[in-house]
Amino acid sequence: MEKIIEIKNLRKCYGNNEVLTDIDMSVEKGEVVTIIGSSGSGKSTLLRCINLLETPTSGQILFKGDNVLDQHYDLPKYRTHLGMVFQQFNLFYNHDVLANCTVGQIKVLKRSPEEAEKVAKENLAKVGMEAFIHAKPKQLSGGQKQRVAIARALCMEPDCLLFDEPTSALDPEMVGEVLDIMKSLAESGLTMIVVTHEMDFARDVSDRVVFMDQGVIAEEGTPEHIFNHPTKERTKEFLKRVLA
């Protein structure tokens, strides 16, 4: 299988505070990897290091074999290959739903407005938001916002989508609609890295589960392995707490 992302010896420090230590991890094409762990364990930092919203202190990140930390690597281009869905949605407030989905295509991918609009409408249909193309973000519910944010990321036709706790800011009744979309995306073969507290999603949808604790990957494996036969004490404790 082709490796899309390969992380080697990644370290990240904020001042003297080392929040990620010796992370080694790789993601293959079509794989769905979920990252779980208690809050403050470094999950977001890892995700943000992958698309370089944070600059790693040391280590390597290879995208399809090329080191993205190389000085001459085309960073904006790299980011178009990775979509990002945020906990707080981060829809552009000054644009309506359609423009949120077209602005990146037009500005970054240099698509024509007509083409961008066509792609946007297809992806908005995928997330069930085609009826809201002219709504402003503030007119939408949290679940609707997150669906638009997913469509916005999909419009860039990324090789891999990164999700940072996409349902944590939602009211309980809206969590389902977003998870359903993520599930269908996973089934369509999209490569995804998902930081989540939704253990059902991690168990049922992902191919591999990564458990992080205090800045290191404490244990990883299939959902079956992590949820049913964890080997590490820390993993067992964590699962006991969240599944209780």
Ligand X SMILES: Nc1ncnc2c1ncn2[C@@H]1O[C@H](COP(=O)(O)OP(=O)(O)O)[C@@H](O)[C@H]1O
The residue ranges that bind other proteins (CB under 8 A) are: 51, 53, 76-80, 82-84, 86, 88-95, 103-104, 107-108, 130-136, 138-140, 149, 152, 156
Q: Is 120 or 209 the residue whose CB approaches ligand X more closely?
A: 209
The CA distance from 229 to 241, in Å, is 16
Provide the angle, in degrees to the nearest 10, between the axes of the packed helices 172-187 and 142-155. Answer: 20
40 binds ligand X (CB under 6 A): yes
8 A C-beta contact, residue 2 and residue 30: no
19 binds ligand X (CB under 6 A): yes
Would you say how long the chain is, in residues?
Answer: 244
Q: Is 46 or 133 the residue whose CB approaches other proteins more closely?
A: 133
23 binds ligand X (CB under 6 A): no
* Residue 93 interacting entry, from other proteins, Mg ion, ligand X, none, C-beta within 5 to 8 Å by type: other proteins
Burial category of 220 from C-beta neighbours within 10 Å (exposed 0-12, middle 13-18, buried 19 and up): middle
The CA distance from 114 to 106, in Å, is 10
83 binds ligand X (CB under 6 A): no
Nearest to 242 by CA among 182, 198, 180: 198
Q: Pick from 32, 34, 36, 45: which binds ligand X (CB under 6 A)? A: 45
Q: Which residues bind ligand X (CB under 6 A)?
A: 14, 17, 19, 37, 39-45
